Structures are given as structure tokens and as C-alpha cells.
Amino acid sequence: MASHSSTLFASPSSFNLLSSHRLNPSPKYFNLRFPRPVKTRHFDLRCSVSIEKEVPETERPFTFLRDSDGGGTQSSSSSSSSVRARFETMIRTAQDKVCEAIEAVEGGPKFKEDVWSRPGGGGGISRVLQDGNVWEKAGVNVSVVYGVMPPEAYRAAKGTATSDQKPGPVPFFAAGISSVLHPKNPFAPTLHFNYRYFETDAPKDVPGAPRQWWFGGGTDFTPAYIFEEDVKHFHSVQKQACDKFDPSFYPRFKKWCDDYFYIKHRNERRGLGGIFFDDLNDFDQEMLLSFATECASSVIPAYIPIIEKRKDTPFNDQHKAWQQLRRGRYVEFNLVYDRGTTFGLKTGGRIESILVSLPLSARWEYDHKPEEGTEEWKLLDACINPKEWL
């Protein structure tokens, strides 16, 4: 999600829509979706979903996977279980590395960590650094959850169930990492990234129904001012990660990102894009696991050098006011369009987790229009008319 606003970001409490996603487990840093043809069907969950409140824990477990737990884990193949375990290892390693990189730049302030478990299966780790030296607010969260989803959700997701077919609860597994990083300096960009893996197993009363799985996620770049070398650096790192697997990935996922982070009522994008994909299962599972791992590993080299370069740039009140106006756009997207956030708010999820992606401060001015030709206007023009940066 995203998303950004929704990270696996527990963007809600037990079930959250991930940034661009559907059901989201507890933290808002989790954006989960149900399977659907990417170009043909959007799933809007209108059924009543019971939210399991997460339980605070005092220690991080070695793993959130429990072999003795039900929820579909026993019925999956050993290959699938291996993907689950390796994806959890990947996202937890990525969380550690990103937090270490941020704390190194901060030079003092540390992340606050909350560990939680979910009665139905799994749990997560939420880390937030607030009002630091460099970042106004930084959240890096992981979730690994499993259990069953309502039959209504299964029918809506599957898209082929007839009215007389009433499958029971569907076992699912979802894991993901999601992060939103809001710097203080107006010349330093906001970053969002989210990577997730989702499975459903056949419901017990619908024998023969196939197990479904997919990967989703992306990394996108939201500056208040354009430094073309920064934007090119960011996009070049995303392209390098994509090109290691398929030369069609970067142009395909770059356009997907531009289209997803679109604020329809403003006719503009939230930022300057990056890559985004969802429901991805039309490639080998091992390849996509490696691809998601590569994308998550690219976050630090894509972002931290830009922050190091811009974090101490002198700025004035006008620059700060423009940053706050752009933060307002970020809030609008997350609260109006991000499926993880809106799902969490409608279903009574944990509010602190749901809104962790929002900045500490934002600004709205009536009928604000930057003067044509100014640096502010250039940013707005790029958000209205997405560019090819490479």
C-alpha cells in the first residue's frame, strides 16, 4: 500500500488493507489483497468482518509461524511453507537494516518498538521514530498473520462462485513489510515502501478448489521539490532491481505506480512515482520471492544517499509551507483512496496502527496555486503529468 499509507503497516488491527490492498492484518503496515485479475476486477469488501484485537507482547519471537496452529498452514505444501518462512526472514531482515540505516543518519534518536500477537495466528513488530533530528516521523512495520477469512470475502475474491455455492471460511496466510518515512527538511523527500506475500487454501467444504498465492508491493518517492539527479538516482535503483529479473518489469511497474498513487479529486499524483505491483503470480514463485527480496534490499541505496545530501539544506518558511501543503495531499490520498487505511477505519482497527503513515503536521490553504515557472509549480506539474525520468 501503502499506500503509502498503509504498510503491512498494520493498517488496521487484525485485518487491514495493505496500501493497495485488501484485507490487512493487524498493523497498518500490512496491506493484504484477495486474488483477482489485475486488470478486470477490484474487490471492495462490503461484508462484516470481525476484528481480532492484537495482544501486546514483551519480546520478539524467533518466528511468528507456528506449526501447531491451524489456519491453513498444515494443508500447504512444504514448498509453500518454505516460501512463507523465507519471506518472513526477508521482511524482518529488511526491517532491521532499514531501521539501522535511519538511526545511523539520525545520530541519536531510536525507534520505539511494539510487538503484538494475533489470537487467530501470527503477529507483528511495529517500529516508529517520531520527531527526530532528520525524520519528523518514520514507521517501519512487519506483520505475519494467518487464520481464516469470511466466506463472503472468498466469493468476492474468487469471482466464479455461484449464488448457491456457500463455501465456509477460507484459510489464508499474509506477510509483509511496510514503511513511510517523513523527513523534516522540505528538500528531503518522503519515501514509502511495502512488500507482501499472500496465500489462500481451499475451504474444507469446497474440495478441489486451488490454493492461490501472489506477491505485491512497491517503493515510491514523494519530494516537495524536484532535484532531477535525485529522482533519476531513485528510479535508476528501482530499474536496476527490476532488470535483474525481467526488462519489462520497470516500465510496467513504473506506470502501475503512477496510476495507483493518483488523487482523483485533485487530478494529480501523490509524488514522483517509483514501482508498484500487486496480485503478481504469473511468474515462478521462487523468482518472485527473489524479486521481492531484491526490491526490499534496494530501499537503502535508493533513498539514504538522497537524505544524506538534502537533510541539512537551508530552507525558509515558504519552503516549509509548501512541504506542508504536499503533506496535505499525502493525507488526502491515504484517507480517501488507500484501501488499507479506509478498510481499517471502517472495521474498527487499531487507530494508532492505521494512521501511523500520516505525517505529524500538514497544511491546507484555500485555492492555493503556485506561480507558473516556480520550483513549487514544477513539482505540481510533474505530479499532474507523470514523466519518464530515465
Catalytic residues: 192
Smallest CA-to-CA distance from 135 within 107, 162, 163, 156 is with 107
Burial readout 203-225 (b: 16 or more C-beta within 10 A, e: otherwise): beebeebeebbbbbbbbbbbbbb
CA distance linking residue 257 with residue 289, whole number of Å: 20
Tell me the Ramachandran region of residue 274: left when phi exceeds 0, alpha when psi lies from -120 to 50, beta otherwise.
left
Which amino acid, 320?
A: K
Using a 10 angstrom Cβ sphere, with 0-12 exposed, 13-18 middle and 19 or more buried, the burial of residue 247 is exposed
Beta-ladder partners of 263: 268
* 274-280 vs 190-200, strand pairing mode: unpaired
Which cell numbers in the block locate residue 303?
533513498
CA distance linking residue 170 with residue 334, whole number of Å: 29
Tell me the Ramachandran region of residue 208: left when phi exceeds 0, alpha when psi lies from -120 to 50, beta otherwise.
left
